[in-house]
Amino acid sequence: MLPAEIAQHVRRIQVVTGRQVAEVMAGAWLSVFKGRGMEFDEVRPYVPGDDVRTIDWNVTARTGEPHVKRYVEERELTVMLVVDVSGSLDFGSTRRSKLEAAVELSALLALSAIANGDKVGLLLFHGGAELYIPPRKGQKHALRVIREVLARGSEPPGRRGDRSWVARLPALVRKWFGWLDEIARREPRSTTSIAAALELCRRVLPRKAVLFLVSDFLDENYTDVLRHANKKHDVVAALVTDPREKAMAPAGLITLEDAETGKTRLVDTASAAFRAGLARAAVERVETLRTTLRASGVDLLAIDASEPVVEPLLRFLRERERRQRR
């Protein structure tokens, strides 16, 4: 996708998701995601009626007059979109891929955060970090976040992860265009490491944030890191799936290729036993993930790439709000 096409796509996403944010998302977002709580504002002289528990005894001792600490509610949030752009997200059996669904979800979340006056940042990852954008405010910044997610998913599949052509360019040319060296150093998009992405968030986010981890979760050995991340931050796992991962049409013998390992396998989709086993494995994977997340205190938002994302997101926000009121 050319830069002009990306810009046009961003504008289209802005129109669609912007309307959804204005009409239905703002209230749900505000009621579910709270600020960091009460933050210290100032010390002032005590006046009758002040809560004695707020007396600042150190200042009172120094001045000889009673003083109290004043606190204000801090509404501002830091929202971090941690988006998986590994090879498996390129898969799509309907009108769009899982990555395109992740782009729409990211756009909706980014614009909702900005509309609420929150900061929003972005981390694109696969086997390593692809791109990190620090959290900031503003509509222009939100559109940049959307553009970067869209751009990383718009490269031709044959060139993703293959940066050797850059390394073969003359050193002088690469020196003139420093960003070419950055491209050459990127790791291939074939693998997934959720643990590495969460570890990077731990290092770069000193204060509590809301982390939306958008992935198909085709990874292993990340549970401990996820649990630790949720102790510091509010982590929401957004699982993106495709209908063909749950059920396959009886199309006879076909060759399947793993998008992240490149391994191929010949399967007989006409076999009822194969299709039943595939459906069973898909259900077990999601249930295992749900159990793991529940044990870690992490909420799960399930997105079907063949459907619009706003309805499941709204259901998730309403359910979370109901839980918070209990």
CA distances from 42 to 68, 71, 72, 145 (A): 9, 7, 9, 36
Average pLDDT over residues 295-316: 91
Q: Evaluate whether residue 288 is within a structural domain.
A: yes
The CA radius of gyration of the chain, in Å to the nearest whole number, is 24
Give the domain CATH number at 269: 3.40.50.410
| 68 shares its domain with 119 | no
Within-domain flag for 3: no
Q: Please, are residues 289 and 239 in contact by the beta-carbon 8 Å criterion? A: yes
Q: Residue 201 class from Cβ within 10 Å (0-12 exposed, 13-18 middle, 19+ buried)? A: buried
Q: Is residue 87 part of a domain?
A: yes
**240-259 pLDDT per residue, tens:** 999 998 888 888 898 888 87
Report helix, strand or coil for 188.
coil
* In a shared domain, residues 183 and 231: yes
Q: How far is the C-alpha of 12 from the C-alpha of 5, rounded, in Å?
A: 11
Per-residue pLDDT tens over the stretch 112-151: 888 888 899 999 999 888 899 999 998 889 888 888 877 7
- Report whether 127 contacts 193 (CB < 8 A): yes
Alpha carbon distance 181, 163 (integer Å): 10
Do 44 and 177 lie in a common domain?
Answer: no
Q: Is residue 27 part of a domain?
A: no
**Does residue 137 fall inside a structural domain?**
yes
Q: Which sign, positive or negative, has the C-alpha torsion 40, 46, 47, 51?
A: positive
| 184, 311: one domain | yes
Rounded to an integer, what distance in angstroms lies between the CA atom of residue 91 and that of residue 305? 10
Residue 289's domain spans which residues?
77-325
Is residue 162, in this structure, part of any structural domain at all? yes
**Residues 65 and 212 grouped into a single domain:** no
Domain count, the chain: 2
Q: Is residue 156 part of a domain?
A: yes
CA–CA separation, 55 and 223 (whole Å): 43
Q: Are residues 255 and 147 in the same domain?
A: yes
- Looking at the structure, tell me whether residues 50 and 161 fall in a common domain: no
What pLDDT digit, counting tens, does each position of 64-95 carry?
A: 999 998 765 455 789 999 999 998 998 888 88
The predicted structure's pLDDT at residue 84:
94
- Note whether residue 285 is domain-resident: yes
The burial class, CB within 10 Å (0-12 / 13-18 / 19+), for 211 is buried
Q: Is the torsion defined by CA of 294, 296, 302, 305 positive or negative? A: negative
Whole-number average pLDDT of the chain: 80
User: Is the pLDDT higher at 310 or at 215?
Assistant: 215
Distance CA 113, CA 25 (A): 10
In the chain, % of residues over pLDDT 90? 37
The C-alpha atoms of residue 181 and residue 158 are separated, in whole angstroms, by: 20
- Beta carbons within 10 angstroms of residue 277's beta carbon: 11
Chain mean position to CA 26: 19
Per-residue pLDDT tens over the stretch 15-57? 555 555 555 565 566 556 655 455 566 788 988 888 888 899 9
Instruction: Check: CB of residue 234 under 8 Å from CB of residue 212.
Output: no
Is residue 233 predicted with pLDDT exceeding 90?
Answer: yes
Same domain, 247 and 153: yes
Q: What is the pLDDT averaged over residues 219-248?
A: 93
Rounded CA-CA distance 198/256 in Å is: 31
Asked if 222 and 213 touch (Cβ cutoff 8 Å), the reply is no
Phi, psi for residue 303 in degrees, rounded to 5: -120, 130
Distance CA 173, CA 169 (A): 7
What is the per-residue pLDDT for 176? 43
* pLDDT interval class at 300 (50, 70, 90): very high
Q: What is the structure's pLDDT at 159?
A: 46
Q: Are residues 54 and 174 in the same domain?
A: no
